[in-house]
Amino acid sequence: MEPEVGLRTDRNYRLGVWNGWLATTGDGFLSVSVVVAGFAARLGASNAVIGLLPAIAQGGWMLPQMLVAARVRSLPFKLPTYRSAALFRTASYLTMVLAAALLAGRPALCLTVFTLAMIVNALASGVSGLPFLEVCSKIIAPKQRAAFFGLRNLGGGLLAFGAGLLVRWILASPLPFPYTYALIFLLATTVYTAAYNIFGRVAEPPDLPQSPSNVAEELRQIPHTLRADPAFRAFLVLRLVLAFASMGDPFYAVYALRGLGVPPSELGVFLMALSGAAPLSNVLWRRVAERKGSRRILRYSAAAACLAPLLATLLTPGTASLYLLVFVASSVAAQGFNLGNTNHLLNIAPAEQRSRYIGSLNTIVGLALFAPVLGGLLADRLGYRVVFVVSALLFALAWWLCGKLRRDA
């Protein structure tokens, strides 16, 4: 029996890594801060609407997780929930493709349909996110998690860099707008669908039976969990600050287009900077994770994140060629946060309360991730640079708060 179990575990590991590679490639094609923001800007969207798009993508992913936690906690198998959500996600991507291809001549309608599709996708992503983490925690041993997520991010970053090259070629090609974006969205749909299908084939071991729960019960447990666990409380405060600090992220590309006069075809260069920095930074973050732990990753990431809005504030039209450094710093920080946040949450959450911890944290933080809308309103009133300065100050605060996190065991 032992060899058979070992083979199954190795197969699960491979499927999880392949899923990460393809999903990250899809993120390259459908980067909310570069591609989607550029598409919305071409349609004439206001800064508030542009800020709403990443808020939907991130906040919508987190908000349903309290409901999902109550629903899946007592289920021995979580993958069926993941597979069902994947169907809705694929349908929403196809809707984005059709909206871009057929409705761009009516910008208001196109933005409305596209935004509704993003909402459906984000909510379905939230439904699948908790089962995904639950399954990963069951098939990947704690000591292997840093290497597992690091390998997913490393290979995915290399593939996403290729996606950036392809995006740049498409945007600079003779293909007219909006078909350039429709093609990019179609490529994203293809790789995302393949990623979901691959993870759906994981051989999930069953959980021990647990008593069923409901949303009201989960909500009542949040204050108790926060009072009883200072490590969880400190991590929640950090995540809330980081959520508000991200208010400047969707406006880096828009500021380049509207404030620095960068041509739209250069969005592909920014996407390549985002993607190209990811694999290299993942090598660094993986070593930090194995030697120093998740707390140190988060602190270094906060420092890198602070550089992005500072650079965006300082650069002028005459130095626009250096603007890709903004995306390099943002990418390095994002990769660190992805690895550090996941590892730290799984490390501090007791096994029997894992769903509750994940659902509680993501639901609360999901509300704060609508901060980019506030960033958009600030940009409309006071300009982009004010948004970037506020963002930098909040990242500096996050750096300080990282010192209060629990060390990894």
Structure confidence at residue 265 (pLDDT)? 74
CA dihedral for 37, 186, 370, 46, sign (positive or negative): positive
Q: CA of 337: how far to CAs of 148, 281, 299, 300, in Å?
A: 15, 11, 9, 9
DSSP tag of 405: S
Residue where the block lists tokens 């920014």: 270
In a domain, 197, yes or no: yes
Structure confidence at residue 149 (pLDDT)? 80
Would you say 38 and 269 are in contact if contact means Cβ atoms under 8 Å apart? Answer: no
Number of domains in the chain: 1
Structure confidence at residue 5 (pLDDT)? 43
Token pair recorded at residue 179: 């078909």
Domain of 76: which CATH number? Answer: 1.20.1250.20
Would you say 376 and 46 are in contact if contact means Cβ atoms under 8 Å apart? Answer: yes
Would you say 310 and 201 are in contact if contact means Cβ atoms under 8 Å apart? Answer: no
Token pair recorded at residue 134: 């639950």
In a domain, 50, yes or no: yes
Residue where the block lists tokens 């969205």: 185
Residue where the block lists tokens 């995915």: 156
What per-residue string of b and e applies to 270-282 under the rule 16 or more CB within 10 Å gives b?
Answer: bbbbbbbbbbbbb
One digit per residue, the tens of pLDDT, for the chain of length 409 reads 333 444 445 889 999 999 999 999 999 899 888 899 889 988 988 888 888 888 788 766 766 666 676 677 677 788 998 999 999 999 999 999 999 999 989 999 999 999 999 999 988 988 888 788 888 888 888 778 777 887 887 788 889 888 988 998 998 889 999 999 999 999 999 999 999 999 999 988 887 766 666 666 666 666 777 777 788 888 899 999 998 998 888 889 888 888 888 887 778 788 888 877 877 787 788 778 777 778 888 999 999 999 999 999 988 777 767 888 999 999 899 888 888 887 888 788 777 677 677 777 877 787 777 777 888 888 888 888 999 999 999 999 999 999 888 886 5
Token pair recorded at residue 28: 């390259």
Q: What value does the CA radius of gyration of the chain take, rounded to a whole number of Å?
A: 20
Token pair recorded at residue 157: 């970053």
In a domain, 146, yes or no: yes
Structure confidence at residue 213 (pLDDT)? 62
Structure confidence at residue 304 (pLDDT)? 93
Structure confidence at residue 25 (pLDDT)? 93
Q: CA of 131: how far to CAs of 65, 78, 123, 127, in Å?
A: 10, 5, 14, 8
Instruction: Give dist(CA 406, CA 224) in Å, integer.
Output: 19
Would you say 215 and 382 are in contact if contact means Cβ atoms under 8 Å apart? Answer: no
CB atoms within 10 A of CB 266: 21
* Length of the chain in terms of residues written: 409
DSSP string, 86-139: HHHHHHHHHHHHHHHHHHTTSHHHHHHHHHHHHHHHHHHHHHHHHHHHHHHHHH
CB atoms within 10 A of CB 311: 22
What per-residue string of b and e applies to 15-49 under the rule 16 or more CB within 10 Å gives b?
Answer: bbbbbbbbbbbbbbbbbbbbbbbbbbbbbebebbb
In a domain, 409, yes or no: no
Range list of H helices, 349-383: 354-368, 371-382
Structure confidence at residue 230 (pLDDT)? 85
Can you give the residue range of the structural domain that contains 295?
A: 2-404
In a domain, 276, yes or no: yes
DSSP tag of 200: T
DSSP tag of 174: S
Angle at the Cα of 274 from the Cα atoms of 176 and 317, rounded to 5 degrees: 70
Token pair recorded at residue 242: 């980081």
Helix (H) or strand (E) holding 77: none
